[in-house]
Amino acid sequence: MRIGLLGGSFNPAHAGHAYIARAALRLLRLDQVWLLVSPGNPLKSSADMAPFAQRLASAERLCTHSQLRATDIEYRLGTRFTADTLQALRQRFPRAQFVWLMGADNLRQFPSWKRWEHITRLMPIAVLPRPGSTRIALASQAAQRLRHARLRANARTLLACSAAPRWSLLPIRENPLSATQIRLRGQTFTPTAPPKEF
């Protein structure tokens, strides 16, 4: 099974997350995308972080598509860093073909992640364009370090079955929605469907 992993705080989950998850499903020919709701992001302040159960519920409400799954597996694994989570998932699901999904904004700051180079060796990576970040990310330290492992966009359907390190920038429109903007505007997530169990 080909599974895309989209990690994040989901504080709250919003239509932009659904947009990139569905794009990854289609462009990479994935069987599922899992929304990995983080119990706590080491790179983000916890000051305005909603409770975990609330953020998980907002991600569950996004999963109106049968191939999207919101999960608390990172909470259940007890992992705090992405490298540890992905390592644990590889061990728990050895037959799955995982692809890590990350925004171009995260590619820019990738070297600040704990054991970021180890992550690149665990599974292939699909990078999603983000407003104001995509061009800068493609010239970033991480992109330059991994330039030998970049897969052309027209070969992206091979990404899920490629041996790591391998990455590709997905050719989709940048989506301007962000959880930070939603919080600053004081908006709340409006459910579109009842929560789904994982």
| 196 in any annotated domain | no
Is residue 195 included in any domain, yes or no?
Answer: no
pTM: 0.86
Query: What mean pLDDT comes out for the span 21-35?
Result: 96
Helix, strand, coil shares of the chain as percentages rounded to 5? Answer: 45, 15, 40
Average pLDDT over residues 21-36: 96
Confirm whether 93 is domain-assigned: yes
193 inside domain: no
Structural domain of residue 119, as residue ranges? 2-184
Whether the per-residue pLDDT at 194 is higher than 60: the answer is no
In a domain, residue 197? The reply is no
Residue 67's alpha-carbon distances to 56, 118, 143, 154, in angstroms, are 17, 28, 30, 23
Judge whether 192 lies within some domain.
Answer: no
Strand positions, DSSP E, the chain = 2-8, 32-37, 68-71, 97-103, 125-128, 167-169
Say if 14 falls within a structural domain: yes
Q: Tally the domains of the chain.
A: 1
**With contact defined as beta carbons under 8 Å apart, do 94 and 45 qualify?**
no
Evaluate whether residue 52 is within a structural domain: yes
What the block records as the tokens of 44 is 């983000």
The string of pLDDT tens digits covering residues 50-80 is 999 999 999 999 999 899 999 999 999 999 8
CATH number at residue 123: 3.40.50.620
Tell me the per-residue pLDDT of 93-131, one tens digit each, with 9 for 90 and over.
Answer: 999 999 999 999 999 999 999 999 999 999 999 999 988
Q: How far apart are CA 88 and CA 172, in angstroms?
A: 30
Asked if 20 contacts 68 with a C-beta cutoff of 8 angstroms, the reply is no
Phi/psi of residue 35, nearest 5 degrees: -90, 110
Residues 92/69, Cβ–Cβ less than 8 Å = no
How far CA 136 is from CA of 76, 104, 107, 129, 142, in Å, comes to 35, 8, 9, 11, 11
